[in-house]
Structure 1
């Protein structure tokens, strides 16, 4: 980078990005490198807009200052030159934007799903568009070099002071030939000129980044020139007709344990001011580039619901006489207790020793909601549904769930605990009322209560673990068979069965698999099923 005065941090950042861009262009481009060009191009576009916006604000402020001081003709002439500089720069940037749009139109816009240009790594079309075909030299790059240098020459001609300033900042000429630019002296650029160095065999996304850098070079010319014009109307100070301190809160009602946020600012603020701000409860206040401070502190709970509280802020600025002036602002806000909301199939009661899924919300906290939980009368663990999703496993007749956010207690929610309803045991495929032939096997199903299964399907998985089948004739026992699972083979009883006999099925055990895939025995009491043999 050349001389020409101390550069701003933004200008130094852009210069560093240009060095990175130049280095990346010299690499054998891989996908990982191409990704960096996306970021560089986007950052350079953002930097360009910031620079243009800043220059516009400076020119507007110049106009206001000249008006306040009586609209001196000499100052008005200087203001016209600043506007002429702005107009010529806008034309040059518009020209570069036209080239960008042509490349994007012919090679494809960013894919909204992948966030990448479909031909971002291709350069054949870039060669054709920027360098032309064959020896024709009808590509954009050949004209663009001349247009950039003609632009900076026009800027220098607007005022006699601008030429030396731009040359001292190494901005004139703007698109330098190989012999004029130290960065182009590497042997790899032998036999190449400006247009080939910047665009030959350059992937699409890298070409866009190069064009973005050229736009930032134009912005730098504009910035240097506008700043010089500003200096022509004397030391730049903003005058205020009326000064008042103001504050704007995101909400004047805030829940205990949450962040109170407000904007505190001067109603006639300017980018040239550097106000110092502080607020009770927040200490020093961070002030952004537009002179706006953000007040943020944790609201403490009130002694009553809807407690009114007040914070006080101070803004210190230096007036036109060079003296510090402090303005005071007071803002009232209301502290309320946040409401805990529970989402579940049944929120008033939970099931004992089951994984009850809950979604705990505290709407008043908004994006500041950072929950943690504890429980008495049971255990609590994180669920799979994201922030606020939990699983409560009750171990007693009631559970108290305590909710905190960011380490600040929010409140407690109490739940009643219900016993798990017993399942029904039924013989699959057997008509118990009418009876029938003696089957060769029997399968018993343990069927969960419908409402329990709807709420906690992972805890409603049952199986019959054992039972006895007895073949009875009157009061006599003809034979019996045992099962250690849901199905029993009773073919030995079938050969002995006669019409009028009956099968007596006595359930010995039922098991339940819970949400952790753990098996436990379930007490179902005495369950006896009688099946009459009618044929």
Structure 2
């Protein structure tokens, strides 16, 4: 069945049709005949109720038209509704006459409480509905009337099926049965069919006819007053000149009632982009673009235009709206502990801000001669220069370029190296007693300013240094160490006053914030002569 959402009654009729189709395929027995009779009784009860409902719908349409002032368009609705009711009543009357004919041809009413004298009569049904080899029975006339009725209804609802009387090939159930699919409408529904089953078939067809009539009448009822715009949704609205107000300035707003009709779905378009309509309101969202002349306040003044089109009783009415807005070009602001230059191979953390964008600011970062990563906060960018060439940072938000900034790149300042004996500083002029040296310690001190700005980048480690013992210009011994501290106790027995201990740091690495290691140049302070006395 075509149409909108089915009522519980219509769903019940559909299930009865499926049961009827199944019963027709069974061998006829007294129990089966009783079930056909039950189906027929149930369907006819529903049909009589539907006729009453449809009649009341006609009355409701008539009353609604009168209440609306008997307007010409509404009068045409009444005419259409009465035409549908008349055609339906004629078809139902014809089908009821067929019921009477079949009962009569099968022996008439029963006696002693039986409904029919021959409830299981089949031959009389074949003669009356199929008509023998010539196929001139009443079922063929019924087929024509049902399909003509369907064609009549399609002018009111194009979703009505093209046919209500289907052949075996057209019926979705019979077409799957090799014994039924080649039968015409009369054979499919009335061949070898007992009286009560034939009556149930007619009752089901009546139910289908009345269902479609009900759908059409409900649709026509909804057209009464359709060319009048009825505002049934009313709510309060307020608009302000600005949602952001500086202290000491005036806040201005307007408050008013707005209304719309829930029966109308306006079509809305705008020069700014697509419009989403929700509850009669158009929602417009677009990314404001820069470009264009600025006014005295530095704002770019722009305008978008929208159109609201209502289809009212087949006619379009269009309203045009125009809205001005101002665009502020965001300025890029860079802040950090030091923005004058970046350090080579260091994670330089900067804050790239665009205050004009507020909460809508969602930056992405790119550029040249460095890698760029987003920090813990959305405005934080981590820049690691890959060379000492100038770095260009580009900042965008929402696909719109905000600005660029160029930074010079400097190398990390070298640390200061302190050489100690027994973990104590050494006076290289006086030296140390020849009997005291046990350990040589290398102390690496980062540049103070660099350490203050980048504490996670100012970590150093000595990985190689050498200790030589000399006397009179000749080398007595040599030891190599792979950390910042070396045990020279094995040399103690060889040391004499006047000897010298020469310390040379050969390799130092720097650890960055990730723990990655970088070899750095060894400073000139990384070697010393320690005289022994």
What is the TM-score normalised by the length of structure 1? 0.46
Which of 1 and 2 has greater Rg?
A: 2
